Structure 1
Amino acid sequence: MRNTTVLAVAIVIAALSQFCLADDHTTNLVNAARELRARYLNDPHRPTWHFMAPEGVCFPFDPQGCVFWKGKYHLFYAIQVKGKGSWGHASSIDLVHWVHHPVPLTIAPGDPEAHVFAGGALINLQGVPTMIYHGLHSGTCIATSNDDDLIRWTKAPQNPVIRQPMKGDPNHGRYHVWDTCGWVRNGVYYSISGDHPGRPPATDGDIAYLFRSRDLVNWEYMHPFYKSDRRWTPADEDCSCPDFFQLGNKHVLMFISHTQGTQYYIGRYEDDRFYPEQHGKMNWPGGPVFANDSLVDDKGRRIMWAWACESREAETQRATGWSGVMTMPRVLSLGENGTMRINPPAELARLRMNSRRQKDLVVADGDAVTLDGIAGDSLELSLEVDLGEASEFGVKVRCAPDGTEETVILCDITAGVLKIDSTQSSLSEDIFQPFPYPQAAYFPKKVRQSKDIRVQEAPFQVQPGESLKLRIFLDRSVLEVFANGRQCVTQRIYPSRADSKQIRFFCKGGAATVRSLQAWDMASANGS
């Protein structure tokens, strides 16, 4: 009996020890989570309402496979899981508040691909959400959703459905298999693959290759989908992260080149070919806007996101414990003249607080007017300006009281440009705004081929008799400026001073009148 009792006590003690070890592990996780959350909440540069990775340094952070399904916006995005390129997933019912879900696509033993790279979403002929993506060192791959919340996915056992041609293959040197997107037309699946620099066949600038299929498994190569024109893009550009969609009575191919960032063609889609008629950009030298993707929602709106790359050195990113920020969602449409219109979605108004209004504020030639009662690092400003005889009108944000830090938004009417000048945005020395290669702040300095460009300039013409309408969004280190619904410029800024929050107006060449000014503080939508 004694031996039995001793054994029973020993078993209980062992079990309690294991319980305590497990409990200690959970406690450590909880404490670490609290410590990380406190660090994030106290970080003056971490955005509070832009979509972000929930934790960790994400490089890359491309939006992928965006789709609206069963009343929800689904945003998939590039993350890294144990060193493998994967996709994260979040969903929202309002474009503002997001719920993060388990990782839907990563690399498992036996998968043919080494990493899950860029791709898009389509609804297959059976009505099931389907992802088409590039599997590194493998080819184009397919995955289908197992549930309407898009939580669980199954990769096609036939992957890669379009094999990357290797040396010795019959199709080697005929086409590239790289970043992809897909769509359905007249009961047939189509996919385009962008071009990968350095692979055969050699390309003269950006190009995409068209494939088609009846069943998503057996694909036929057709021909080049489009060929670029040197009047628009240099010969060293590629077509990566392609996103092809109808917009109004035209079609749009939005893509990145690794050297330039996000850009697009507007044109005709005829006879299984795309004929670009216009070219535009969403990033200019010194800007951070890189990979992109979009969806169409139940209101018929085309909504896009892009990765707004960090402009801080990799060491700083790793030390803070985070990176990976999307631009705010942008609603795309075509104007009456067939050019791109870019506007914020109405849903962002849900974040507005503490409304302030001013009107008929005269800004004299050469003056700088500091706004009274309007300041901060998380704001929306909406203003309409009668330019009068002014040749330039500008807004300075995140200004230190003594002017040692400031970021300048300038509309140069004579030159026809909209600028963000971040030359004095920060006293910190770890800022780098690279061009070419907008993502290059993360690159080791010894391999960089980029220059540090502090003035980003985008084309923007104010028409005769037209007022200037600016919508300016600040979210700590993110600045986005919309001008008359026709242009949008984005920048990352990192003021070092806690008091760099003032707002100032200025103009040159004549007086201007701010006919209306509205300002709101923006509520936080991020949990950390």
Structure 2
Amino acid sequence: MSAREDRHVPRYHFVAPEGPCVPFDPNGCLFWRGRYHLFYIYQDPELPRGRDCWGHASSRDLVHWQLHPPALKPEPDVPEQGIYSGCALVTREGVPALVYYGVRAGICIAFAEDDELLRWRRHPANPVIVEPKRGEANFDVYRVFDPHAWLADGVYHVILGGRVKPHDIRDTAYLFTSDDLEQWEYRRPFYNPNPNWTDANEDCACPDFFKLGDQHVLLCISHPRGARYYLGRHRAGTFIPDSHHRMNYPGGACFAPESLVDDMGRRLVWAWATPQRRPGTDRFATMTLPRVLTAAGPGALMIEPARELELLRRNHRETQAMELDGGERLCPELAGDRVELRVAIRPWGARRVGLSVRAAPNRIEETRIVYDAVARTLSIDSTRSSLDPAVFRGFPIYAKAPPPRDVPVQTAPCPLDPDDTLRLTVFLDASIIEVYANDRMALTGRIYPTLAGSRFTRLFAEGGRAAFSPVQAWDMGALSYAADDS
């Protein structure tokens, strides 16, 4: 990788050791015997049949990572021609299992043969749910695709992501149950889509279903629009959504979320931070930071960065508190390309407030984080983030139609009351930006600054006064990776 390209590689976000990966979905996340296990899709072009495999890494603290041999590959003597999205669960007997979509086969299962989760034995009956072909029974009844499985009341459940059959319009998932992980019975569509919440061309892919507080959460994506979730109730094998929430907006890069529960009871989630340059340009793949989801009352979740990231903080500094009235302030002490920033803002009459980050001295490159107090929205404006002509923030993300267009400004609802304080945590790591607001939302984008001097931060207020708390900044150290010799 060239030095020019290397400057875009994140250091404190998890990066694929295998190089460029499309897709790079996190899968099979599992906390087991004191370690966080992260499985993920990568591609091996040297394989004779199929390219998609599951890589494997684990960590005790989310900072120091052990890189393990691949967990699953499409071997010559197995039915699947690739290992696609799936999940992990612990069986009734206490054995970790991976449940995944085997390309051109159906739903497959593999069981751990050691506590380090390095050796996996495939179920001899794979695929345990066969993918029906066009013209066969059930082709127009359900879709066999991304599985999410769990054990409840002694019965195994799996939902398979997809669209509503037979016309493949609107999102749903399909529920199957089993007593033994081998014989599965189709039950029903898992939920009914609401046309007020999702578009007709959206699907439910990469589903992840769990209880959080008094609510049930269906975390998923749609291929056109990226990460999202439903909150609702689970009754007699049916999910009844009460609300729908986006985790990604046009111009964003948050895709394919996957979660686990650790020994502290935290629900941690990773997602693939999709590349936002022309296909084939990125020579690396990266995930978002691990985020903690917490119940926050009916119809709401808290979304916060995992506190283990504080282990990477270096060189703390901060500004003075300040007020701005229709102006801006350069803060040289906040400069950096791999930093964490924290600030609280009171928009006292200002229409728009925020930060300009990764800015060049002449502002030919800069990324703006903008809160619009009138529209009550939060945006990442990457219009001038990069001089690289390959940058393309395509929306829809993945869809047959319409063709993607470049959307340089990602805008999300951020409904603060006039007297509320906007609390922002911003992570900048080479080509990735993550913005957390009031522990209720997180935006993800890719920015690719090309100039060595694109390191500066400015505060601004437009159309009135705003008060800024002291801005805290830390340089962030790198994750460590150790290769597994086993």
Q: 1:279 aligns with which of 241, 244, 252?
A: 244
Counterpart in the other structure of 2:357: 397
1:325-381 Cα offsets, whole Å, 9 max, x none, are 00001101121343021001110000000001234212222x110003110100000
**Which of the numbers 72, 82, 104 marks the counterpart of 2:35?**
72
C-alpha displacement of 1:168: 4.5
| Separation (CA, whole Å) in 1 of partners of 2:80 and 2:113 | 21
Give the drift of 1:527.
Answer: 4.9
What's the counterpart of residue 418 of structure 1? 378
Q: Distance in 1 between matches of 2:153 and 2:375?
A: 47
| Match of residue 11 from structure 2 | 48
3-state SS of 1:227 partner: coil
8 Å Cα contact 1:253/1:264 also seen in 2? yes
Following TM superposition, by how much is the alpha carbon of 1:393 offset from its aligned partner in structure 2, in angstroms?
0.8
Which residue of structure 1 lines up, in the alignment, with residue 411 of structure 2? 457
Correspondences of 1:462-501 after superposition (within 5 Å): 462-501=416-455
Aligned match of 2:307 in 346, 361, 365? 346
The 1:412–1:268 alpha-carbon spacing in structure 2 relative to 1, beyond 3 Å, is same
Amino acid at match of 2:442: C
1:107 aligns with 2:74: yes
Rate the CA distance shift 1:336–1:516 in 2: closer, same or farther, 3 A: farther
Q: Partners in 2 of 1:430 and 1:414 — Cα distance?
A: 34
The one-letter amino acid of 1:449's match is P
Give 1:2-81 correspondences, 5 Å limit.
39=2, 43-81=6-44
Aligned residue identity for 2:32: W
State the distance in 2 between where 1:349 and 1:381 align: 12
2:128 maps to which of 150, 154, 161: 161
**Runs (5+) with no aligned partner, structure 1:** 1-35
Letter in 1 for 2:373: I
| Contact 1:364/1:510 (<8 A) preserved | yes
| Contact kept? 2:260, 2:269, Cα under 8 Å | yes
In 1, distance between residues paired with 2:337 and 2:145?
Answer: 40
For the aligned residue pairs, the C-alpha RMSD in angstroms reads: 1.8
CA distance in 1, matches of 2:261, 2:88: 11
Indicate conservation of the 8 Å contact 1:268/1:276, yes or no.
Answer: yes
Pairing of 1:303-452 with structure 2 (within 5 A): 303-317=268-282, 322-365=283-326, 367-437=327-397, 449-452=403-406
Query: 1:112: how far off?
Result: 0.9
Deviation at 1:209, TM superposition (A): 0.5
Identify the range of structure 1 (206-215 vs 458-467) with the bigger mean alpha-carbon deviation.
458-467
Which residue identity lines up with residue 331 of structure 1 in the other structure?
A: V
Partner of residue 92 from structure 2, selected from 125, 128, 131: 125
Call closer, same or farther: CA 1:86–1:42 in 2, change over 3 Å: closer
- Output one character per residue of 1:412-458: Cα deviation in whole Å (capped at 9) or x when no partner: 11101100000000111111000002x58xx9xxx981000000001
Q: 1:201/1:161 Cα in 2 relative to 1: closer, same or farther (>3 Å)?
A: same
Task: Name the TM-score, length of structure 1 as normaliser.
Answer: 0.88
Question: Is the contact between residue 389 and residue 509 of structure 1 (CA under 8 Å) also seen in structure 2?
Answer: yes
Question: What secondary structure does 2:333 align onto?
Answer: strand
Q: For 1:247-258, what aligned pairs fall within 5 Å after superposition?
A: 247-258=212-223
Paired letter, 1:357? E
- Counterparts of 1:108 and 1:397 in 2: how far apart (Å)? 47
Question: 1:390 & 1:406 partners in 2: Cα distance?
Answer: 21
Letter in structure 2 aligned against 1:110 = D
Which residue does 1:171 correspond to in 2? 138
| Alignment match, 1:231 | 196
Output one character per residue of 1:379-414: Cα deviation in whole Å (capped at 9) or x when no partner. Answer: 000111222222211100010001111000001111
Structure 2: runs of 5 or more not aligned: none
Could you say which structure has the higher helix fraction?
Answer: 1
Conserved? CA contact 2:37–2:56, under 8 Å = yes
1:212 and 2:164 correspond: no
**Counterparts of 2:451 and 2:331, CA distance in 1:** 19
Give SS of 2:64's match: coil
- Residues 354 and 42 of structure 1: is their aligned pair in 2 closer, same or farther, counting only changes over 3 Å? farther
How far the C-alpha of 1:464 sits from its partner, in A, is 3.7
1:228 maps to amino acid:
P
Distance in 2 (CA, whole Å) between partners of 1:498 and 1:226 is 50
1:42 positional shift: 7.3
**4+ residue stretches of structure 1 with deviation over 6 A?**
none
CA distance, structure 1, for counterparts of residue 134 and residue 435 of structure 2:
47
Whether the 8 Å CA contact 1:117–1:135 is kept in 2: the answer is yes
Amino acid corresponding to residue 142 of structure 1 in structure 2 = I
SS in 2 for 1:347: helix
1:96 is aligned to 2:63: yes
For 2:369, give the aligned amino acid. I
What amino acid is the match of 1:106? K
Shift of 1:496: 1.1
Q: 1:43 Cα deviation (Å)?
A: 1.2
Deviations 1:86-134 (A, max 9, x none): 1000001111221110001111112111111110111100001111111
Assess if the C-alpha contact under 8 Å between 1:385 and 1:516 holds in 2.
Answer: no
Considering only CA atoms, is the larger Rg found in Structure 1 or Structure 2?
A: 1
Whether the 8 Å CA contact 1:40–1:46 is kept in 2: the answer is no
Q: Normalising by structure 2, report the TM-score.
A: 0.95
SS in 2 for 1:264: strand
